[in-house]
């Protein structure tokens, strides 16, 4: 009998089936801090080739892991136990655009920002804009149901996916949903989006495209306390406005970014809000006026409205440079991703600061305040003995306090390996059994990306920072 690698090579050709030690080493991790192991990496260029890879994996009884750009932060693309990695990076084309009905069929390896850039001349864009949008793929966005700053008004990836052609875990090719608005039967496309590669591999994606707004106003507002900033966020939403984006940066983050890019940021304030509204001119001006009035009710110190595109770009650069800026503080960081009710932001942030202080760690907060999506960044130096352990313990506590405040485990990064064993904080065994039932319906053999998302029964109530089969 041929070996797994021989079979894959006959299907894809030798150059797109990789087994070299350096490549295997590269593909055994994603952008998380976790590593697994793989025996072979496949780089298919078509649906038929993906199907061939899956069928061969099935025939050999070896699990497979779908992979996009590998920018996931929860270990969802980390292969466990020698799984076959099927990377869709070479499938990166826009297949068809329906300009008047604002949709497009694309391949999963297409990069998020490339899609919007290539449609710019039509006045259209793909709304989900993860911070990694220059490098993350549409297929990865589908797998993780990715978000981004502008998902506050527009919704996360699930709201922008009309249909997905998939290779199911048994090797069957089919299309979930379609261009029509109410496909027959269950919303299988809805179930597939966010399933982290455990229900199959997306090979073509039909995305909804969004009109570029006719007008944009971006403002930076800073506050003496985090509470005032958070109260402004709640005030804006309660007043019936949904800005395109509402981002918050805390003092340490402002200082780090300012030192990095020199954007004249309010480094002496406890928190700053970056608020963007879009739309038609009268509504836009009225919203800006109301937002500033609400900020004044909550003691805003300064309001800076970007006067032109250049200043707007600079303010956004400040927000998006946070991850680069922190390298000036410490060499390593651990980024968390939880959601809490907006009204609980001040309370939970205070707890985050307390937890970090107790573990003698520095924490920066730069996050999607509009939808309560926290991103505490624990910065540390992994070379200092015992630090990594403290980072993990602090992270666990942050996740716990978020869920206890009425929040959820993840807003946009997913569960993957990272939070698999935290699922019991949010779901009962009965709840998890229902998720397991969905998984079994798609993948009775459990061959697609096993070991992710759903905790094994043995892990009940026993929280591990790093699941078995992966290591830091």
> 222: Cβ–Cβ under 8 A, 6 or more apart, which residues?
229, 254, 266, 269, 271, 272, 273, 300, 301, 302
Burial of residue 466 (number of CB atoms within 10 Å: 0-12, 13-18, 19+)? middle
* Span interacting with other proteins, options 46-54, 56-64, 216-224, 418-426, rule CB under 8 A: 418-426
Return the number of the residue (373 or 387) whose C-beta is nearest other proteins: 373
- The answer to whether the beta carbons of residues 339 and 426 sit under 8 Å apart is no
* Span interacting with other proteins, options 152-160, 260-268, 288-296, 354-362, rule CB under 8 A: 152-160
Residue with tokens 């061969």: 56
Q: What is the distance between the alpha carbons of residues 15 and 5, in angstroms, rounded to a whole number?
A: 12
371 contacts other proteins (rule: CB under 8 A): yes
* Span interacting with other proteins, options 59-67, 258-266, 273-281, 292-300, rule CB under 8 A: 273-281
CA atoms within 13 A on the CB side of 423: 25
95 contacts other proteins (rule: CB under 8 A): no
CA geometry: angle at 428 spanning 425 and 433, to 5°? 125
CB atoms within 10 A of CB 216: 15
Site for other proteins in 331-360 (CB under 8 A): 339-343
Taking the complex as a whole, the smallest distance from the CB of residue 407 to other proteins amounts, in Å, to 6
120 contacts other proteins (rule: CB under 8 A): no
- Distances, alpha carbon 307 to alpha carbons 215, 217, 314, 470, 472, in Å: 13, 9, 11, 49, 46
**Binder among 19, 35, 55, 155 for other proteins (CB under 8 A):** 155
- The answer to whether the beta carbons of residues 211 and 230 sit under 8 Å apart is no
**Binder among 38, 144, 203, 365 for other proteins (CB under 8 A):** 144
Site for other proteins in 225-244 (CB under 8 A): 234-235, 237-238, 240-242
Per DSSP, the three-state class of 116 is: helix
* Span interacting with other proteins, options 65-73, 210-218, 303-311, 461-469, rule CB under 8 A: 210-218
Secondary-structure breakdown of the chain: helix, strand, coil percentages, each rounded to the nearest 5? 40, 20, 40
- The answer to whether the beta carbons of residues 257 and 318 sit under 8 Å apart is yes
**Binder among 25, 101, 302, 456 for other proteins (CB under 8 A):** 101
Return the number of the residue (32 or 373) whose C-beta is nearest other proteins: 373
- The answer to whether the beta carbons of residues 60 and 101 sit under 8 Å apart is no
* Span interacting with other proteins, options 3-11, 25-33, 385-393, 426-434, rule CB under 8 A: 426-434
* Span interacting with other proteins, options 87-95, 172-180, 260-268, 301-309, rule CB under 8 A: 172-180
Q: What is the distance between the alpha carbons of residues 323 and 73, in angstroms, rounded to a whole number?
A: 13
Closest alpha carbon to 110 in 121, 99, 96 = 96
Return the number of the residue (210 or 255) whose C-beta is nearest other proteins: 210
Q: Which residues partner with 41 through β-bridges?
A: 18, 85
Site string for other proteins, 15-34 (x = CB under 8 A): --------------------
Residue with tokens 């199907």: 51
Taking the complex as a whole, the smallest distance from the CB of residue 70 to other proteins amounts, in Å, to 18
Query: Please, what's the largest Cα pairwise distance for the chain?
Result: 75
Closest alpha carbon to 50 in 101, 84, 95, 14 = 84
Return the number of the residue (108 or 414) whose C-beta is nearest other proteins: 414
453 contacts other proteins (rule: CB under 8 A): yes
Taking the complex as a whole, the smallest distance from the CB of residue 293 to other proteins amounts, in Å, to 16
Return the number of the residue (201 or 454) whose C-beta is nearest other proteins: 454
Return the number of the residue (12 or 366) whose C-beta is nearest other proteins: 366
Return the number of the residue (188 or 352) whose C-beta is nearest other proteins: 188
Return the number of the residue (95 or 434) whose C-beta is nearest other proteins: 434
Return the number of the residue (444 or 457) whose C-beta is nearest other proteins: 444
**Binder among 180, 308, 310, 462 for other proteins (CB under 8 A):** 180
Taking the complex as a whole, the smallest distance from the CB of residue 16 to other proteins amounts, in Å, to 26
> 1: Cβ–Cβ under 8 A, 6 or more apart, which residues?
none
**Binder among 113, 426, 459, 466 for other proteins (CB under 8 A):** 426
Return the number of the residue (47 or 388) whose C-beta is nearest other proteins: 47
> 114: Cβ–Cβ under 8 A, 6 or more apart, which residues?
92
Return the number of the residue (109 or 407) whose C-beta is nearest other proteins: 407
CA atoms within 13 A on the CB side of 162: 18
188 contacts other proteins (rule: CB under 8 A): yes
């Amino acid at each position: 009998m041929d070996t797994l690698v021989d079979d894959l090579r006959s299907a894809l050709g030798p150059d797109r089936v990789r087994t070299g030690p350096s490549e295997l080493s590269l593909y055994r991790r994603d952008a998380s801090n976790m590593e697994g192991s793989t025996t072979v990496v496949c780089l298919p260029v078509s649906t038929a080739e993906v199907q061939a890879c899956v069928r061969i994996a099935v025939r050999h009884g070896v699990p497979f892991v779908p992979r996009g750009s590998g920018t996931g932060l929860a270990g969802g693309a980390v292969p466990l136990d020698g799984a076959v990695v099927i990377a869709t990076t070479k499938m990166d084309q826009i297949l068809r655009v329906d300009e008047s009905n604002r949709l497009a069929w694309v391949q999963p390896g297409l990069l998020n920002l490339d899609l919007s850039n290539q449609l710019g001349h039509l006045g259209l864009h793909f709304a989900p804009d993860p911070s990694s949008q220059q490098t993350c793929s549409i297929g990865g966005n589908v797998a993780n149901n990715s978000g981004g700053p502008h998902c506050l008004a527009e919704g996360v990836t699930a709201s922008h996916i009309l249909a997905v052609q998939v290779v199911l875990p048994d090797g069957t090719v089919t299309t979930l949903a379609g261009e029509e608005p109410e496909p027959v039967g269950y919303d299988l496309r809805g179930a597939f989006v966010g399933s982290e590669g455990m229900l199959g591999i997306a090979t073509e994606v039909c995305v909804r495209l969004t009109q570029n707004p006719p007008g944009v106003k971006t403002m930076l507002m800073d506050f003496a306390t985090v509470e005032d900033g958070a109260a402004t966020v709640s005030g804006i939403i309660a007043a019936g406005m949904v800005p395109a984006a509402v981002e918050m940066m805390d003092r340490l983050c402002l200082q780090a970014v300012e030192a990095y890019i020199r954007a004249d940021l309010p480094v002496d304030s406890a928190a700053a809000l970056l608020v963007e509204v879009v739309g038609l001119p009268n509504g836009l001006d009225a919203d800006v006026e109301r937002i500033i009035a609400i900020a004044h009710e909550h003691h805003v110190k300064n309001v800076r409205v970007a006067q032109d595109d250049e200043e707007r770009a600079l303010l956004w650069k400040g927000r998006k440079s946070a991850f680069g800026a922190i390298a000036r503080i410490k060499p390593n960081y651990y980024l968390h991703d939880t959601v809490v009710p907006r009204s609980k932001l001040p309370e939970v942030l205070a707890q985050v600061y307390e937890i970090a202080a107790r573990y003698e760690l520095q924490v920066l907060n730069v996050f999607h305040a509009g939808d309560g999506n926290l991103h505490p960044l624990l910065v540390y130096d992994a070379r200092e003995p015992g630090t990594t352990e403290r980072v993990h313990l602090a992270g666990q506590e942050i996740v716990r306090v978020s869920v206890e405040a009425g929040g959820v485990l993840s807003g946009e990064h997913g569960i993957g390996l990272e939070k698999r064993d935290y699922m019991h904080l949010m779901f009962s065994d009965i709840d998890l059994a229902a998720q397991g039932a969905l998984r079994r319906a798609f993948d009775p053999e459990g061959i697609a990306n096993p070991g992710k998302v759903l905790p094994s029964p043995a892990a009940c109530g026993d929280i591990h920072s790093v699941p078995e089969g992966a290591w830091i």
